[in-house]
Chain A
Amino acid sequence: MSVTDSAAPSRREKSSRGKIWQTFRSFWKDQELRQQPTAQAGEIWLNGGINRRDFVGLLEASMALAGVTACTVQKPENIITAVRAPEDRILSGAEYFATTLTKHGFAVGVLGETHLGRPTKLEGNPDHPASLGAATADMQATILELYDPDRAKKLRFGKEARTWESVAGFFKERRAEVVNFHIVCEPTTSPTFLSQMARLRKVLPNLHCYSCDPFERGNTYKALDEVFGAPNRLLHKFEKARCIVAVDCDFLAEMAQSLRYSHDFAEGRRIRSNRDAMNRLYAIETSPGLVGGMADFRLALKPSEYGSALNVLANDLGLTAKLSKITLTEGQRRWVSELAVDLKKYRGESILIAGDRLSSDEQALVLLINNHLGNLGKTIEVLEPAPDLYHTAEPLTNLMSQLGESGKHVLIIIGANPVYSMPGDIDFPKVIAKADWSMHLNVYEDETSQYCQWFIPQAHVLESWGDAYAYDGTISFVQPLIRPLYQGKTATELLSLILGETNQNAFDVMRAFWKKEWSGIDFEKTWQRSVRSGIVFDSKSKSLKAYPIAIQADSLVTSIAAKVTDSYEVQFKPDPVLADGTMSNNAWLQELPKPFSKLTWDNAVYLSPKTARELKLLNGDVIEISSPEGKQLVAPVWIQPGQAEKTLTLFLGYGRSRAGRVGNGVGYDVASLRSQKNLHSISGVTIRKMDASHVFASTQSHTRLEQNMTKPSPHFDWLDYSRRPESVHSAVKSNQPETSLIPRNPRLNAIESGGKEAWGMTIDLNTCTGCNACVIACQAENNIPSVGKDQVLLGREMQWMRIDQYYEGSEDDPQFVHQPVTCMQCENAPCETVCPVGATVHSAEGINEMVYNRCVGTRYCSNNCPYKVRHFNFLDYNDMADPGLQIMRNPDVTVRAKGVMEKCTYCIQRVNRTRIESEKSGIPVGPNELMTACQQTCSVQAIVFGNLNDPKSGVFETSRSPLRHEMLAELNVKPRTGYLVKFFNRNRQG
C-alpha cells in the first residue's frame, strides 16, 4: 500500500466494512490484543481471494526466460565444486559450489546446490567463519531473485537498446574530455573492486566516490575512529560471554556476522544437563527484535532514552561521575542499576554491544564501558583495519554540491538505489538530472534507473565472479553458479571498462588482482583451494594486542544528554525480513511471517498496546504521522506487545514503486518522514487517526501462553534447574502420556527397537531465536509455492514450517517464546487413520509419508492434525509450465498440483538420497550425515535430526533427555519431534 493509497482507502476496503461476516470474528476480552483486522476483507472472502491471486500469479508465472535453457551450461574450466570432485560428474546428482553473498558489503559464505548446472538452493558454507553452514532467510531467498522474471534484461540508453561495446565507446569519449566522474556505490569490501577504484583515482583525477548505504551505518565507523583513533574493527566472542547487553542491537539478525554471532551466542545457552551454564542476556530496545525475544531481561526504551540509560550505566559502573539529564522513569533506572550490579560480577566475561542506529557518541560510550569492564581483548577482540569502501568514500550528501560545480559530470550508480533508499529530504531525481550523463548498473530497473540515461543490467551475485572480506577479515570468493541469464555485467567489469582496460572479464580481473597479491606463493594451488572452499584460509585479520583509547567518557556523557521530550517518537528500522527492500520482489520473503507480528506482505507502524489504547487505535487503523519538520506519512498501525511506550517503529524496505510485479505498492515507504538529520529516529511527532483502515495478513493471532489452555510450551528458570533438576524433570514429565494399552504396529521401528533406523527430531526452544531461516530453507528445499496476500488472509499460506509466537506476562513487558512447528511425524498419526485412500501412511522408519499422487484431497487429515501442520493446495499455486521455475525447483521433490495436501516429511528426499548412496557405496549412513533443510540452515543448531537408535547421532541424546517434552503429548499421538524446554536466566541472586 503506497502512501496515497492508505490516505484514501481503496473501494474494496471501504465497501467491505461492516459486512455480516464480522459476526463470525472472534472477539477477545482483551481488546488491545484483538487481532482481527482481517474481518474487514469481506470481498476477499466473498470471492475466495481469487482476484489478487492473479496478481501473485505473476510472481511465478509468465517467466519469459528467453534463452534460459541455452545459458545453463557452466564454465567447467573456471568454477570449482566445493564438496564433490567434478571429474566423475554424476548427471543426476546434486553438486555444491562455494560462493559468497554480502551483507553491508561483508562476506557471508554460501554453498550453491546445483543440478545439471542449474542452481536450485543456497546453503551456508560450513568453512566460512561468518556462516558456519548456516544461512539467513534472505540469503536463501537469493536463489529466487536469480530467476526473477522482473530482473533487468536490456542494456539501454534512454529508451534505446545499446550494446556493451557502445558503453565502452561512451567511456572512451568521456576519458578524452576532462569530465568529473562521480561513482555512487553500495557498501562493499571487495579487494578487487577497491583496487580498481584506486587505479581509477590515478587515471581520473576528477573522480569522486560515494557510499550509498540505506542503513547509514556511519555512526559505527565513526565511533570506532573516535575511540581507537583508527578504523579498527570489533570481533565479539559471544561464546565466552556470561553476561550480554545489547543496546538497540539485534546482533542475532541485523549484522553481517549475525549468523556467526547467533551460533556463538547459542553456545552459551545450550542446556543439556543441569551442569551446563547459561549466559544472561539483557536487551535494551525499542521494538522487539530477535535479541529482545531471547532476552532474559528486556527494557523497552524510546530511541532518545538510550543515551540516558548508557549514562546511568556508566555512572553506576564508576566509569564516569557525571550524570547528565536523565529521562528514565524510576523503574527503568532501577533496571539499569540492577544491570550494572550484575555486570560488575562479570568483568571480562561480559559483552556490551551497541547497534548501528545509536549515535557515534553512544556507541563510543558502550566501547568505553566494555573497556572499563575489561572485556576488550577477552570477550571482544579488536581487529586491525581492513579495506572498506566506507573509508575511501565521501558522504553522499557531498554529491549535490559537487555536481553543482562547473564542468561536465558523469554520474555512475553501481548497485545502489538511492532514489528509493535515501531520506526524503534529498531529491535524488533532481541530483541525477544535474549530471550531464548518468548511468545505473543494477540487477533490477528500479526507482533510480528511470532517471538515468544509461542502464546496464547487473549480473546477479550468483552469476558473478568477485570477492569480499568477511566480518573478521577472512577473504571470501564469489564464483558463479550459472552463466549470466541476461548478459548482465558485474561492477568489476564496469570499472575496468571505465578504466579502458582491455581485459574486461571479471574473472580475469579478479585473477590478475590476486596473482599480484599472492606473489611468492603457489598461485594456482591457492586459487583452486580458495575458490573451491569459498574462502582464503588463514586470511583472518590480526587481532590487536594494544589499542590506545583516544577519548574520555566524561566528554561523551555531555553530548549524549537526553533531549527531553514527552512527545511521540518515531524509530526507523530495517524490515526484519526485507531489510532495505532490495529484495522486495521476492515472494518468498514477502510471504515470510515477520518475527513477533507474523505479518506478511506488509510493513506496519508498531505501537505498544498502552499507546494504542491512549490513541484509541486498533490493528489496521491508518494514522498520519507528522514530523516536526512538517513532513507527513500515512501508514497502518499494528499493536505489538513489547514495543516501547509512545514510540512508533517504522520499517524500511516497503512502498517500492518499481521493485517488480511482486513488490510494487506493497506497504508504505518511510522516506517522506526520514531526513538527513533524522535518519534513525524523530522526536516530537504528532499522530492523527485517519478515516481508513488496512487489512493485514498475519499468519497467527497473537497468543498469550497462559491463554492457551493446552500449554504447548512449558519453560523454567535456569537457576532452579541447575540446583534442583529433578523438579524440572518431573514437571516436564508430568504432561507426558503413560504407556498406551492400544496395541502397536510391530513393523514400525520405534525408539525401543534397537539398532533399526527410526528418524526423529528435537528442537531446542532454548536456543531458537525465531529467525525464520528454517522456514525459507524448507520452502526452497521442498518447492513450496508462495500464495499471495489474499490467500494468506484466508489462512492458506503454504510454508511447511512455522514459528509459533507466544507472549507471557504483561503486555507491556512480555516474555517471548518461539516454537518452530512442523510435522511432528507422530507414531500414532491421527492424519493417517482418516485418509480414505492411504495417501498418508507411515514408513517403518517412522516418517509420516505423504503420497501426493495418491491424494484425492479430502482434507480430513488436516482436520485431524492437532498441530495443523498440513497445507492444502486450495488453488493452482504452482505454475507447472513456467520455464524459470522448472529450472529452480528441486528435482528430488514432487511439485504438488491443485487439490493435493502437502506437509513436512523430514526431507524424505534427503533421507532417501543418503540411503541410496549408502547402499551403493556400502558405507552405512553416518550418525550426523543426514540433515534436514531446516536443521542444516539453523545458525543456533536448535534443530537436531537423526536416527533415534544410533547412539552416535546427536538426536540420540536429545531424544532421551529429561528436558524433552512433546507438544500435546496428552493426545498420545507420540510425536517423533520433541522440544527441549526453554529456560530463562532471570535469577540474579544465584
Chain B
Amino acid sequence: MKEQDPNLYGLMAEFATPESLVESARKIALAGYKRFDAYSPFAIDELDEILHCENSWIPRLALAGGLSGAAFGFVLQHYAAAVWYPQIVAGKPFDSIPAFVPITFEMAILGAGLSCFAALMFAYRYPHPYHPVFNVERFSLASQTGFFLAIEADDPLFDSVQTKALLDEMSSEAVYEIPK
C-alpha cells in the first residue's frame, strides 16, 4: 500500500451524461472498488445494482412500526376505556371494540409512516451538512445537471495515481481530488 495523503478524501470524476456515469460506475465496480459512490441530480435505477444498494430493511421497519402503532393504539384505548377509568358511555360495554377500530388503524398508518421516515432519515444520515465531496467546486452541479463519481481514499484498492489514471480513462470530463 502506498502512503496516502491524509487530507485526501478521495477522487472525483465528472461526467456529462448519466449514461457515461453508469458505464464508468460499472467499470469501477468491475475493477473491484468497494467504497465509491455515484452522484446524480435524479435517481438512476441502474446504479442500484452496481452499488449494491440494499433497502429491504426500510419496508420491514415500516411494517414493524405499523404493527407497534396499531398495538399501541388499541391498548391505549382499551386501557383508558376499560381498565384505568371505566365510565358508562351510552350503555355500551366498557370494551366496545368496534369503536376502537378507526384509531387503531390510524395509529398503524402513523407508526408505519413515522418509522419509514425515520429509516429514510437514518439512511441519509440526515441532517448531514458537511461532507468532503462538497469541497469540490463543481460538485454543486450534482444537484442540477452534473454527474459525479467519487472513489474514497480508504478503499483498499485506492491508489491516488492508479485510481486517477483509471478515472481518466473513462469518458469523464474531469477528475478532481477531494480534500477532507
> Residues on A close to B: CB < 8 A?
742-748, 826-830, 832-833, 838, 841-844, 974
Contact = CB atoms under 8 A, between A and B. Distances in A.
B87 A828 contact: no
Interface string B78-114: 0000000011111111100001000000000000000
A830 B90 CA distance: 6
A845 B94 CA distance: 16
A962 B148 CA distance: 89
Contacts of A833: 89-90, 92, 99
A748 B93 contact: no
Contacts of A745: 88-89, 91-94
Nearest to B86: A747
A-B pairs, 4 with minimum CB distance: A842-B88, A828-B91, A841-B87, A833-B90
A747 B88 CA distance: 7
B87 A748 contact: no
Contacts of B89: 745, 829, 832-833, 838, 841-842
Contact of A843 (B86, B88, B92): B88
Interface of B: 86-94, 99
A746 B94 CA distance: 9
30 contacts: A742-B92, A744-B91, A744-B92, A744-B93, A745-B88, A745-B94, A746-B93, A747-B86, A747-B88, A748-B88, A748-B91, A826-B90, A828-B91, A828-B92, A829-B90, A829-B91, A830-B90, A832-B90, A833-B90, A833-B92, A838-B87, A838-B89, A841-B87, A842-B87, A842-B88, A842-B89, A842-B90, A842-B91, A843-B88, A844-B88
A830 B99 CA distance: 14
A358 B127 CA distance: 94
A742 B93 CA distance: 9
Given A827-B91, A832-B90, 18 more contacts: A742-B92, A744-B91, A744-B92, A745-B88, A745-B92, A746-B93, A747-B86, A747-B88, A826-B90, A828-B90, A829-B91, A833-B89, A833-B99, A838-B87, A838-B89, A842-B89, A842-B90, A842-B91
Contacts of A748: 88, 91
Contacts of B86: 747
Contacts of B88: 745, 747-748, 832, 841-844
B51 to A, nearest CB: 50
A963 to B, nearest CB: 25
Nearest to B85: A838
B79 to A, nearest CB: 14
B84 to A, nearest CB: 12
Contacts of B93: 743-746
Q: Which of B89, B92, B99 has the most CB of A within 10 A?
A: B89
A859 B94 CA distance: 23
Contacts of B92: 742-745, 828, 833
A841 B92 CA distance: 11
A842 B99 CA distance: 18
Contacts of B99: 833
Contacts of B94: 745
A358 B46 CA distance: 106
A680 to B, nearest CB: 55
A605 B90 CA distance: 46
Nearest to A746: B93
Contacts of A828: 90-92
Contacts of A826: 90
B153 to A, nearest CB: 59
Contacts of B87: 838, 841-842
B179 to A, nearest CB: 59
Contacts of A743: 92-93
Contacts of B91: 744-745, 748, 827-829, 842, 974
Contacts of A830: 90
B101 to A, nearest CB: 14
A826 B92 CA distance: 12
B90 to A, nearest CB: 4
A743 B94 CA distance: 10
B176 to A, nearest CB: 60
A747 B87 CA distance: 9
Q: Which of B88, B91, B99 has the most CB of A within 10 A?
A: B91
A869 to B, nearest CB: 16
A830 B92 CA distance: 11
A702 B89 CA distance: 35
A748 B92 CA distance: 9
A747 B93 CA distance: 9
Q: Which of B86, B87, B93, B99 has the most CB of A within 10 A?
A: B87
B99 to A, nearest CB: 8
A419 to B, nearest CB: 58
Nearest to A744: B91
Nearest to A843: B88
B154 to A, nearest CB: 57
B78 to A, nearest CB: 15
A744 B89 CA distance: 10
Contacts of A827: 91
A833 B88 CA distance: 10
A743 B87 CA distance: 15
A759 to B, nearest CB: 14
A141 B171 CA distance: 99
Nearest to A864: B90
Nearest to A743: B93
A303 B87 CA distance: 60
A434 to B, nearest CB: 72
B82 to A, nearest CB: 11
Contacts of A843: 88
A978 to B, nearest CB: 17
A843 B94 CA distance: 13
B88 to A, nearest CB: 4
A746 B99 CA distance: 18
A733 B20 CA distance: 87
Q: Which of B87, B88, B92, B94 has the most CB of A within 10 A?
A: B88
Nearest to B87: A841
Contacts of A747: 86, 88
A757 to B, nearest CB: 14
Contacts of A746: 93
Contacts of B90: 826, 828-830, 832-833, 842
Nearest to A828: B91
A864 to B, nearest CB: 10
A157 B156 CA distance: 114
A741 to B, nearest CB: 13
A591 B89 CA distance: 34
A746 B90 CA distance: 12
A231 to B, nearest CB: 62
A827 B93 CA distance: 12
Q: Which of B86, B90, B92 has the most CB of A within 10 A?
A: B90
A546 B88 CA distance: 66
A841 B88 CA distance: 6
Q: Which of A745, A827, A844 has the most CB of B within 10 A?
A: A745
